């Protein structure tokens, strides 16, 4: 009886082997690279934002398999507006980015396309792509930051990088338009030991913000705004700072994520 059982087991193993059950997965690992940059169409300069989910979201959808495909896992650009993904399969992809700029894919309330400025391309080897966008805001340093008693005082200027008229012309046809979308809601001063300082890399002890209600900030566009860090930063330390501002509009629409536009990071020595 034991011998019969042994033969049955060997027959089963042979059957599994013959149907490929024990074959090794010999598919190639994903090794193609997508390398991208996001720049201001008006100036050609990089769009500076956060490094993380509040920054520039990159969404890839592989079209090689036909209709009704699902997108790849999202990833995010670096703080300087560049992005890179080195683990892709060779294929034809739609590349869409969402960030603190006029949406590239705009649809009306019924889902009818109004504009599609995403890119469709073949990814093989190292494939480069460049997006030229219209940022919501421009944030600039005014003079160099100063330090006194462990506090940093910085001066910034916030202006619109896209006019109110053009913003409305492109956003209103999407439906549900509100004049409040253009309101600047806050200015942030992020402080960190990390050079990639931002919302995702900030020290909450020292970072600070100024919030505005309604259209109160409108009169301050183009004016010098003074913002001071919180707490007391230990002396003898080097920190990095960046300023950011955002409007009352989420991208993509309905996501609830209002993304900041940033200026470049500065290194500050605390004497």
CATH number (domain holding residue 204): 2.60.40.2060
- Give the C-alpha distances (Å, rounded to integers) separating 225 from 136, 140, 181, 211: 18, 10, 21, 12
- Give the C-alpha distances (Å, rounded to integers) separating 210 from 18, 36, 150, 183: 69, 33, 19, 14
% helix, strand, coil for the chain, step of 5: 15, 40, 45
The verdict on 123 and 178 lying in the same domain is no
Average pLDDT taken over every residue of the chain: 91
Q: Which CATH number belongs to the domain containing residue 82 in this structure?
A: 2.60.40.1120
Distance from the first to the final alpha carbon of the chain: 87
Residue, of 44 and 14, whose pLDDT is higher: 44
Per-residue confidence band for 27, with pLDDT thresholds at 50, 70 and 90:
low
The verdict on 74 and 195 lying in the same domain is no
Report the candidate in 219, 198, 214, 205 with the shortest Cα–Cα distance to residue 247.
214
End of a domain among 133, 155, 190?
Answer: 133
Q: Which helix (H) or strand (E) holds 155?
A: strand 151-160
Would 3 be classed as within a structural domain? no
End of a domain among 81, 114, 133?
Answer: 133
pLDDT tens digits, 88-111: 999 999 999 999 999 999 999 999
Give residue 68's pLDDT: 64
pLDDT tens digits, 200-231: 999 999 999 999 999 999 999 999 999 999 99
- Tally of domains in the chain: 2
- Give the C-alpha distances (Å, rounded to integers) separating 22 from 25, 148, 265: 9, 69, 54
Q: Tell me the mean pLDDT in the region 27-54.
A: 92
Pairing of strands 266-270, 237-247: antiparallel
CA-atom Rg of the chain in angstroms: 25
Give residue 30's pLDDT: 87
Would 40 be classed as within a structural domain? yes
Say if residues 188 and 244 touch (Cβ distance below 8 Å): yes
Residue, of 30 and 247, whose pLDDT is higher: 247
Would 180 be classed as within a structural domain? yes
Domain that holds residue 265: 137-270
The verdict on 86 and 181 lying in the same domain is no
Would 12 be classed as within a structural domain? no
- Give the C-alpha distances (Å, rounded to integers) separating 242 from 139, 157, 159: 10, 13, 16
pLDDT greater than 50 at residue 198: yes
Give residue 16's pLDDT: 43
Residue, of 135 and 24, whose pLDDT is higher: 135
- The tokens of 78 are what? 């670096």
pLDDT greater than 90 at residue 31: no
- Give the C-alpha distances (Å, rounded to integers) separating 21 from 29, 70, 128, 260: 20, 28, 40, 51
| % of residues, the chain, pLDDT over 90 | 84
Give residue 263's pLDDT: 97
Give residue 260's pLDDT: 98
Would 17 be classed as within a structural domain? no
The verdict on 260 and 147 lying in the same domain is yes
The verdict on 70 and 144 lying in the same domain is no
The verdict on 212 and 234 lying in the same domain is yes
């Amino acid at each position: 009886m034991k011998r019969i059982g042994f033969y049955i087991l060997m027959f089963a193993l042979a059957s599994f082997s013959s149907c490929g059950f024990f074959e090794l997965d010999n598919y190639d690992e994903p090794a193609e690279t997508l390398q991208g940059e996001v720049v201001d169409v008006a100036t050609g300069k990089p769009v500076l934002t956060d490094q993380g989910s509040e920054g520039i979201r990159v969404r890839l959808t592989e079209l090689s398999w036909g209709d009704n495909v699902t997108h790849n896992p999202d990833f995010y650009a670096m703080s300087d507006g560049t992005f890179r993904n080195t683990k892709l399969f060779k294929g034809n992809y739609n590349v869409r980015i969402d960030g603190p700029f006029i949406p590239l894919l705009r649809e009306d309330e019924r889902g009818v396309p109004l504009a599609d400025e995403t890119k469709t391309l073949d990814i093989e080897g190292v494939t480069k792509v460049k997006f030229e966008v219209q940022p919501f805001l421009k944030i600039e340093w005014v003079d160099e930051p100063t330090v006194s008693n462990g506090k940093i005082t910085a001066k910034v200027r916030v202006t619109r990088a896209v006019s109110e008229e053009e913003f409305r012309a492109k956003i209103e046809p999407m439906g549900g338009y509100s004049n409040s979308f253009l309101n600047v809601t806050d200015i942030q001063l992020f402080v960190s030991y990390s050079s990639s300082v931002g919302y995702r890399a900030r020290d909450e002890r020292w970072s600070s913000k100024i919030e505005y209600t309604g259209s109160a900030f409108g009169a301050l566009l183009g004016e010098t705004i003074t913002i001071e860090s919180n707490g007391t930063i230990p002396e003898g330390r080097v920190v990095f700072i960046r300023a950011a501002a955002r409007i009352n509009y989420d991208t993509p629409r309905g996501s609830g994520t209002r993304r900041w536009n940033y200026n470049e990071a500065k290194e500050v020595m605390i004497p």
